[in-house]
């Protein structure tokens, strides 16, 4: 009987660890993306999951679709979930420079 209690306790601990390391971070990221999509407005510059930078020209919230201008005369239609983050050139440049400044470690 004690073995079953111990096994049950270990199983509960493993499920709790899995939830806290896998499920919870995914839920938090999903909620963050949902907030970003709800706050989008016409004229916002955004980055898509494909790395394309564009400007939102229209949003059809009922369908979950955003129309993004990626070049003069080229507008693409995206689901709002595909819009990753706002485009902030200074932040992107800062992140890129941090990656360049770090020396690569030799492969052994």
Token pair, residue 29, equals 């990221």
One pLDDT digit (tens) per residue for the chain, 108 residues: 888 889 999 999 999 999 999 898 989 988 888 888 788 889 999 998 888 999 999 999 889 899 999 999 999 999 988 888 888 888 888 877 876 666 666 676
pTM for this prediction:
0.63
Q: Provide the pLDDT for residue 81.
A: 83
Q: Provide the pLDDT for residue 40.
A: 85
Q: Provide the pLDDT for residue 59.
A: 92
33: domain range?
Answer: 2-88
Give the domain CATH number at 74: 2.30.30.140
* DSSP states of 33-90: HHHHHHH--TT-EEEETT--EEEEEEEETTTTEEEEEEETTEEEEEEGGGEEEE--HH
Number of domains in the chain: 1
Q: Is residue 22 part of a domain?
A: yes
Residue 36 and residue 86 in contact, taking contact as beta carbons nearer than 8 Å = yes
């Amino acid at each position: 009987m004690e073995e079953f209690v111990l096994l049950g306790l270990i199983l509960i601990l493993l499920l709790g660890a899995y939830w806290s390391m896998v499920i919870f971070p995914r839920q938090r990221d999903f909620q963050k993306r949902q907030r970003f999509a709800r706050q989008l407005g016409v004229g916002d510059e955004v980055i898509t999951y494909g790395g394309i930078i564009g400007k939102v020209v229209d949003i059809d919230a009922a369908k979950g679709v955003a129309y993004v201008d990626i070049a003069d005369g080229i507008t693409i239609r995206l689901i709002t979930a595909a819009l990753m983050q706002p485009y902030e050139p200074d932040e992107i440049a800062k992140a890129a420079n941090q990656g360049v400044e770090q020396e690569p470690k030799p492969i052994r």
